[in-house]
Amino acid sequence: MSNIDGLSSGLDTSSIINQLMQLERRPQVALTNRRDQETAARTELSEIRSDITAIRNMAADLRLTTGWDKLAATSSNEDAVSVQASAAATTGSYSFEVTSVATAASVYSTQVFADPSSSTGATGPSSFSASGYGALGFSALEGTGFADGAISFEVTQASAAAKIEGSNIPTIPITIDGTNDGVDLEVSGFNFSVTLAHDTYSTEQALADAIAAAIAGSAGAGLATASLNQNNRIELSTGAEGSDHSIRVAGGTAAFALGLSQGRHRRTSFGTDGIVEVNGTATTITDASAGANITLPSGGAGSIDATISGGLRVGVATASQATPPSDSLDDLVASINAADLGYTAFSVNTGSGYRLQLTANETGADSAITPDPGIFGAMGFTVLSNGTDAQLTVQGENPLTITSSDNTFEDLLPGVAITVNAVTTTPVTVATERDVDAVTESVSELVTKLNEVISRINTSTANEPGASRAVLQGNREARKAAEELRSAFAAPIDGNPLTSVGFVGIELTREGTLNFNQDKFKAAFATDSTALTELFANREIGATDLGALDRLIEAAEVATKVGEGYLFTAAQAAERRIDDYGRQLESLERRLELRESTLRRTYANLEVALGGLQQQSGYLAQQLGSLGGFSQ
């Protein structure tokens, strides 16, 4: 019904109705506020749960032997010998003298040239050069057999990965558990299954990220990935490109949840081939995966050996084959260095002329240089130095000699790389020992994360008079999580002489957070590393006295476990309340729309009635006015 705004009454009926509706909408505003508060609470609970899961993972990593028993390598003469320990290192030490370092062989020309522009009489090597191929998807190009001049090199068709696009995801948010967590895939003929992390996913992007993470942690890691495309659908694609690569969804309990359960998604999808042309001769590339090596013919004598960096893209590169422009010393040096012959050329000013010097790119006794007469003609050479191996000598009744063609020695100590930089006259000792600094840093990071979560919970559950309402004000589950984590980590531990983490520098503050005294921790480590390790992680089979990390992991899992963790169930309860508020708001909105319609109809009818009365009044006034004498 159209609105009659004071036509007869002179009233601003639209304003009156709007004000009346504002009064009517007060319950709706209150309900909306409660829903918004519940939504914020649900989000905060979910984020706290994610933070506690991160603490659990940090504690689990630190609990492992590789996390706790990190080793550092040291050298008693770091200038002469540098060391680097890997994850495979074990404790130990080794002493030796460096009796020689590795050097490269070098020769110089017997002929002396007046200046760098002097003629050498050498033809020099023909060299292939290329640029701009990186943008096309190549990491290296090497041409052979071409005549001098420009070489046409072009990618005329880009390669592409095999892809499968799902249909619309049926339900968001969705809870993934043991009933709907699996996807079976076939990628390039390899069959494997992935299991999605059990959680409630509120967005399509979060679900796509979970699939990608599941693939990365499966037997098919690197073969495929998942993403959310512009149509807001899950898209599975192969990691490599070209028709040699394919992908198919073979089944799985999660196929329906991902929109991949229809028959069209079960068909095999193949990648797209790339096409490369060299001097007009096209080659189809069926495998454009990173590291693939291919030979590209030109249709003539020359060909190009190429290494793909991962996928081909349309474009043109610059390539050419060239001999030195002249036989000058400068041009000969430039052409040798461009040809990658295994040695480097220099023009050396001796003070009485210039000589050509060649030095091997590799070191060691086998780095001898034999100049090619096809490049240097009749030019003669003198040996400047023979290449030598690096040599270590372990002194003793029968000294032990160890050699290496370069200056690196692997596994003299298990998992330790030793690099020699100078000859020594006294023994050098290299050793590995517990990397206390690395362990201390890992513990510090865990304590920092714990403090961040505890402080966040304290802030979000605060109940301060006069302050704005906290997002989780008074929430029991969040407060319980803070207390359980703090207690699990800091409470006394039976059966360990150190009694608690407070004894080794991790102490509770008045605010309920943890203070980490790193010096005290390192001192305890140096005094009794075994007791300190067991204080944090009791790895004995069947042990009942859990370490601080063991208890922390357990407390985190009780709080966050999908389906039964109290933070998980609290977030689920909040989600149900949000849905209930939504239904109440929808119902209330329908009632308010009806109420507003009724008010408008009532006021419209009032205006019509007043209009009728005004017409009757006017008519009567007109009739009375026509009775002239009566008006006296």
**Could you report the per-residue pLDDT of 217-239, keeping only the tens digit for each?**
999 999 999 998 888 888 999 99
**Could you report the per-residue pLDDT of 97-136, keeping only the tens digit for each?**
999 999 999 999 999 999 999 999 998 888 888 999 999 9
Q: State whether 503 and 399 are in the same domain.
A: no
Give a yes or no: residue 29 inside a domain. Answer: no
Instruction: Kindly list the distances between the CA atom of residue 379 and the CA atoms of 107, 110, 126, 632, in Å, as whole numbers in the listed order.
Output: 12, 7, 18, 146
Calculate what percentage of the chain has a pLDDT beyond 90.
Answer: 47
Say how far apart CA 92 and CA 75 lie, in whole Å.
12
Q: State whether 401 and 453 are in the same domain.
A: no
Q: Evaluate if residue 571 carries a pLDDT over 70.
A: yes
Helix (H, G, I), strand (E, B) or coil at 95: strand
Could you give phi then psi for residue 152, rounded to 5 degrees? Answer: -80, 125
**Could you report the per-residue pLDDT of 462-492, keeping only the tens digit for each?**
887 777 888 888 889 999 999 999 999 988 8
Query: Under a CB-based contact definition with an 8 Å cutoff, are residues 163 and 326 in contact?
Result: no
Given 272, 307, 328, which residue is the final one in a domain?
Answer: 272
Q: State whether 170 and 58 are in the same domain.
A: no
Neighbours of 371 (CB within 10 A): 19
Angle formed by the axes of helices 548-560 and 529-536, nearest 10°: 10
Give a yes or no: residue 578 inside a domain. Answer: no
Tell me the residue range of the domain where 220 lies.
Answer: 161-272
**Could you report the per-residue pLDDT of 258-267, keeping only the tens digit for each?**
888 766 666 8
Q: Evaluate if residue 419 carries a pLDDT over 50.
A: yes
Q: Per-residue DSSP letters for 266-308?
A: TS-EEPBPEEEEETTEEEEES---TT-EEEEE-SSS-EEEEEE
179: region left, alpha or beta (phi > 0 left; psi from -120 to 50 alpha): alpha
Average pLDDT, the chain: 87
pLDDT band at 6 (very low <50, low <70, confident <90, very high): low
Q: State whether 484 and 524 are in the same domain.
A: yes
Q: State whether 509 and 474 are in the same domain.
A: yes
Give a yes or no: residue 515 inside a domain. Answer: yes
- Average pLDDT of 541-548? 71
Calculate what percentage of the chain has a pLDDT beyond 70.
Answer: 94
Where b means 16+ CB within 10 Å and e means fewer, 170-204 reads: eeeebbbeeebbbbbbbbbeeebebbbebbbbeeb
pLDDT winner (highest mean) among 74-78, 312-316, 320-324, 584-588 = 312-316
Q: State whether 458 and 421 are in the same domain.
A: no
Predicted confidence at residue 279, as pLDDT, reads: 95
Neighbours of 576 (CB within 10 A): 11
Tally the domains of the chain: 3
Burial class (CB in 10 A: 0-12, 13-18, 19+), 532: buried
Q: State whether 77 and 48 are in the same domain.
A: no
Q: State whether 46 and 78 are in the same domain.
A: no
Beta strands in 497-601 (DSSP E): 506-508, 514-516
Give a yes or no: residue 347 inside a domain. Answer: no
Predicted confidence at residue 631, as pLDDT, reads: 47
Give a yes or no: residue 13 inside a domain. Answer: no
Q: State whether 90 and 51 are in the same domain.
A: no
Query: Under a CB-based contact definition with an 8 Å cutoff, are residues 227 and 235 in contact?
Result: yes
Say how far apart CA 243 and CA 286 lie, in whole Å.
5
Predicted confidence at residue 323, as pLDDT, reads: 86
Give a yes or no: residue 378 inside a domain. Answer: no
Given 434, 461, 496, which residue is the final one in a domain?
Answer: 434
Rounded to whole angstroms, the maximal C-alpha distance in the chain is 155
Q: Per-residue DSSP letters for 192-224?
A: EEEEPPPEEE-SHHHHHHHHHHHHHTSTTBTTE
**Which residues neighbour 29 within 8 Å (Cβ) at sequence distance 6 or greater?**
none
Query: Under a CB-based contact definition with an 8 Å cutoff, are residues 240 and 216 in contact?
Result: no
Helix (H, G, I), strand (E, B) or coil at 371: coil
Q: Per-residue DSSP letters for 122-148?
A: -----EEEEES-GGGTEEEEEEESPPS
- Average pLDDT of 184-212? 90
Q: Evaluate if residue 542 carries a pLDDT over 70.
A: no
**Could you report the per-residue pLDDT of 241-300, keeping only the tens digit for each?**
999 999 999 888 888 888 887 666 668 899 999 999 999 999 999 999 999 999 999 998
Q: State whether 400 and 478 are in the same domain.
A: no
Query: Under a CB-based contact definition with an 8 Å cutoff, are residues 245 and 270 in contact?
Result: yes
Say how far apart CA 504 and CA 485 lie, in whole Å.
18
**Could you report the per-residue pLDDT of 323-374, keeping only the tens digit for each?**
888 999 999 999 999 888 899 999 999 999 999 999 999 999 999 999 999 8
Given 216, 248, 272, which residue is the final one in a domain?
Answer: 272
Give a yes or no: residue 428 inside a domain. Answer: yes
Give a yes or no: residue 594 inside a domain. Answer: no
Q: State whether 263 and 236 are in the same domain.
A: yes
- Residue type at 323 in one-letter notation: T
- Average pLDDT of 496-513? 88
- Residue type at 122 in one-letter notation: A
Q: State whether 443 and 469 are in the same domain.
A: yes
